[in-house]
Amino acid sequence: MRGVQVFAGMLGRPAQEALVDDLRAVVRAAPLFSPMTPYGKPMSVRMTSAGRYGWLSDRRGYRYSETHPSGRPWPPIPDSVLAVWRAVASEAAAPQCCLVNFYGEGARMGMHQDRDEGDFGQPVVSVSLGDSALFRIGNLTRGGKTESVWLESGDVVVIGGEARLVYHGIDRVKPNSSTLLPEGGRINLTLRVVDP
Ligand SMILES: O=C(O)CCC(=O)C(=O)O
Ligand SMILES: [Fe+2]
């Protein structure tokens, strides 16, 4: 789709469960928080990160930081997550950030570009876990025609090459569409190379 590669069903249930176990440890070390946009509106997703850098947003703007809002460094990216990156982005440098987004009831993500990284030659790899989400892909500039695809638990998406800077977002999440997370909701991981 528009140069965005969707690997539907790439991860089977055991792999998804292993990822969730590892992510629980990440969230214990670096609790989820609700970022404020620079405009002073809280985002509806809760997030945290693993890796050398974490992505965050506050009144100072969107940026990468070497520390969680608590002031502590982020936990390392789990091997189970790095294995997904190696499977679809073997040519790329090692990821330095695994952004963890948690979508609870009603959470969404507006159309945006991922453009806080230093080298747009490196892809962004996304992993979906839990409830299904309606992913919208637009163009290299804001507006214009868009295409949508439901991302299911275990789907992997590569935003790279010509499509690296396409606008994208999550319109909605379908509650109770997956049994992976007992508490419901959706986890999305995005792996990024921050400063090559
Ligand atoms: O939740 C998703 O599938 C997309 C997340 C995303 O675009 C981002 O974190 O930049
Ligand atoms: Fe994004």
The percentage of the chain sitting over the pLDDT mark of 70, rounded to a whole number, equals: 99
* CATH C-level class of 5-192: mainly beta
Residue pLDDT, tens place only, 82-137: 999 999 999 989 999 999 999 999 999 999 999 999 999 999 999 999 999 999 99
Quote ipTM for the complex: 0.99
Residue 40 has a pLDDT of 86
pLDDT of residue 58: 84
Structure token pair of residue 59 = 């009144």
Distance of CA 114 from the midpoint of ligand 2 (Å): 5
The token pair that represents 57 in the structure block: 């947003």
Mutate to test the pocket of ligand 1, among 48, 53, 109, 157 (most ligand atoms within 8 A of CB): 109
Kindly give the distance from the C-alpha atom of residue 91 to the centroid of ligand 1, in angstroms, as a whole number. Answer: 22
* CB of 190 closer than 8 Å to CB of 124: yes
3 state SS of 25: helix
Q: Which residues belong to the annotated binding site for Fe cation?
A: 112, 114, 168
Take atom 10 of ligand 1 and give the residue whose Cα is closest: 114
CA distance 130 to 152: 7
Mean pLDDT check: name the lowest of 33-37, 96-100, 150-154: 33-37
Q: How far is the CA of 48 from the centre of ligand 1 (A)?
A: 13
DSSP state of 33: B
Q: Which of 154, 133, 136 is nearest to 145 (CA)?
A: 136
User: What are the pLDDT digits (tens) for 161-191?
Assistant: 999 999 999 999 999 999 999 999 999 999 9
Q: Cα separation of 124 and 92, whole Å?
A: 10
Non-local (6+) Cβ contacts of 103 within 8 A are 44, 45, 109, 131, 133, 170, 173, 185, 186, 187, 188
Record the pTM.
0.97
